[in-house]
Amino acid sequence: MYPKIKRKKTRVVWVGNVGIGGDNPVRVQSMTNTDTRDVKATLDQIHRLYEAGCEVIRVAIPDEKAVKALKDIVKESPIPVIADLHFYTSLGEKAVKAGIAGIRINPGTFKNKKNLDRLIEICKERKVCIRIGINAGSLESAVLKKYKIPCPKAMVESALNWLNYIIEKHDYQNLKISLKSSNWWETAKSYEMFSKKSDFPLHLGVTEAGGLIPGTIKNTMAITYLLLKGIGDTIRVSLTADPVEEIYVAFEILKNLGLRSLHPDIIACPTCGRCEIDLMKLYKEVENWAKNIKADLKLAVMGCIVNGPGEAKMADLGIAGGKGVGIIFKKGKIIRKVSEKDLLPTFFEEIEKFLKEHPERLHLTTS
């Protein structure tokens, strides 16, 4: 069973052909960490992210060379490309002309509003989605002067000011919002406050969250808190790690909330003194193999032949190891007993067989 979540009905915006908000699923996105000027490296990473389940990708455009590379990246990318813009609106204008589907602007980094106005008009002409990306660390001086510190109220005021400005001056509404801090609680409260004041879709995430473990925890705390309240239309789990890990973590969050499922769910015992097999190595191999499978499937990796099948009887398929031997079970019932060396290959064969018998379990798309 999963919690019953009633998502807030936000308006729908479009990043290329990807709908965000409304009845669309919570979208999963990431950002490349390659040098955008290196087209091959960037596209290679985008394809890896796409295979993992990424639906929208953001790339940095720090200079003219990066913007020039965008044309080829946009052309070859299997998913819509968003440009990440700071400081220089001229780069943003050229990125839009290169064919991007979205642009993230951080209003606190722009000093010349006239230049920003021109960029917004160009986005409007080409129907490019704009994310108003408010960051606690780069709030505009007027808001900081009022609130003294980059608190949730300050971030919400900044976001509303810019949202209203773009709507009223430019009559453009293909917009989404983010309000990020490196503090997960301040991040969560900012989104919660903003959600009460606007129906524009929200891009969730904690900025500067850190490495795989601390970053996963911070993002999970904020994103789960918000999604349980029905808040959030697209997420990025920012990590100082391989961006592909961001996709796996994001889908784990969504899966455990009952919102979306993409890769198999794997349960495993934590091991104990009874374990007579290298369970951690076994688990890692199953996990890596399962990352290449998009299916609604529950797998189990257990370390004890005696207890394994019973404790994991809710799994579609599972394995349990002993000294030199292992068993494969289905819904708690043992179906095969094999030598330790044949355990994994045989397990993978059984999974493939199960999916052939149950094609409805396969996810043909991430939706």
- Contact 119/92 with Cβ under 8 angstroms? yes
- Partners of 318 in the β-ladder: 300, 329
| Residue 366, pLDDT above cutoff 70 | no
Residues 310, 169: one domain? no
| Residue 184, pLDDT above cutoff 90 | yes
Return d(Cα 158, Cα 142) in angstroms, integer. 9
Average pLDDT of the chain, as a whole number? 93
Residues 283, 209: one domain? no
User: What is the pLDDT averaged over residues 14-34?
Assistant: 98
Q: What does the pLDDT read at residue 307?
A: 67
pLDDT in tens, 29-67: 999 999 999 999 999 999 999 999 999 999 999 999 999
How far is the CA of 311 from the CAs of 244, 273, 324, 337, in angstroms? 31, 17, 21, 18
Domain boundary among 233, 256, 279: 256
pLDDT above 70 as % of the chain: 98
CATH number at residue 118: 3.20.20.20
Residue 366 lies in a domain: no
Return d(Cα 191, Cα 178) in angstroms, integer. 8
Q: What does the pLDDT read at residue 90?
A: 93
Residue 8 lies in a domain: no
pLDDT in tens, 202-258: 999 999 999 999 999 999 999 999 999 999 999 999 999 999 999 999 999 999 999
Spatial CA neighbour of 135 closest among 115, 107, 116, 112: 107
Domain of residue 302: give its range: 265-361
Residue 124 lies in a domain: yes
Return d(Cα 119, Cα 129) in angstroms, integer. 12
Residues 51, 175: one domain? yes
Pure H helices in 171-242: 184-195, 212-228
Domain boundary among 211, 232, 256: 256
What total of structural domains would you count in the chain?
2
- DSSP secondary structure string, 47-110? HHHHHHT--EEEEE--SHHHHHHHHHHHHH-SS-EEEEE-S-HHHHHHHHHTT-SEEEE-GGG-
Residue 1 lies in a domain: no
Residues contacting residue 315 through CB under 8 Å, at least 6 positions apart: 267, 298, 299, 300, 329, 331, 332
Residue 5 lies in a domain: no
User: What is the pLDDT averaged over residues 75-82?
Assistant: 98
| Residue 365, pLDDT above cutoff 70 | no
| Residue 310, pLDDT above cutoff 80 | no
Residues 250, 168: one domain? yes
Residues 120, 249: one domain? yes
- Contact 242/212 with Cβ under 8 angstroms? no
Confidence (pTM):
0.93
Residue 141 lies in a domain: yes
Residues 240, 289: one domain? no
Residues 34, 172: one domain? yes
- Contact 96/130 with Cβ under 8 angstroms? no
| Residue 367, pLDDT above cutoff 50 | no
Domain boundary among 232, 256, 280: 256
| Residue 364, pLDDT above cutoff 70 | no
Task: With H, G, I as helix, E, B as strand and everything else as coil, classify residue 12.
Answer: coil
Spatial CA neighbour of 302 closest among 281, 331, 271: 271
Q: What does the pLDDT read at residue 351?
A: 96
Residues 344, 251: one domain? no
| Residue 331, pLDDT above cutoff 80 | yes
* Rounded CA Rg of the chain: 23
- Contact 131/176 with Cβ under 8 angstroms? yes
| Residue 276, pLDDT above cutoff 80 | no
Split at pLDDT 50, 70, 90, the class of 309 is confident
User: What is the pLDDT averaged over residues 271-300?
Assistant: 89
